[in-house]
Amino acid sequence: GRSRIIYPPAPLVDRTRAYVREERAVLVRRAATKWADRDPEALFLTCRGQPMKPRRVGAMFTAAAEAAGVTATFHALRHTFAAAMLRFLQREARANPELNPLLALQVLLGHADLATTAVYLRVVETDLSAIEASVDDLYAALL
């Protein structure tokens, strides 16, 4: 229920801006003729121009995962991001000793307690090369 700060790759930001400028604008104009004459505050809208609820986004994610033949949840995606990011931050800390990988990850994840973030230390003890390659492939596909 808390707000989170995210750091998406630039191509995703560009695609979101294009959505707002093109697709979302059409939905807002169409909804304005049917409903209220105002722009909804929500970024993502349904085909009726109503704010998309988090539950709907989750259902869309689940459907996409099933179509791809992958078992996945948003929360598992968050864990994957956290583990891969901690591994990345640990590598960056070798060149930049002032960087504390665990504290940086705590900020990225929005955890109030460092102990919550520390659980990812156990994950990075294992070989994460497959996860890192998957994340790298995902970001490369966005370029």
pLDDT digits (tens, 9 = 90+) for 63-104: 999 999 988 888 888 888 898 889 889 889 999 999 999 999
Under DSSP, is residue 3 helix (H, G, I), strand (E, B) or coil? Answer: coil
- Say whether pTM exceeds 0.75: no
User: Range of 119's domain?
Assistant: 74-142
Mean pLDDT confidence for 57-68: 91
pLDDT value at position 31? 80
Co-location of 46 and 90 in the same domain: no
Co-location of 33 and 81 in the same domain: no
Instruction: Give the side-chain half-sphere CA count within 13 A for 57.
Output: 10
Under DSSP, is residue 45 helix (H, G, I), strand (E, B) or coil? Answer: strand
Co-location of 138 and 78 in the same domain: yes
Any domain includes 1: no
Q: How many angstroms separate the Cα of 134 from the Cα of each of 57, 69, 95, 104?
A: 22, 16, 24, 22
Co-location of 82 and 117 in the same domain: yes
pLDDT digits (tens, 9 = 90+) for 26-35: 988 888 766 5
In angstroms, the CA 120 to CA 79 distance is 8
Give the number of domains in the chain. Answer: 2
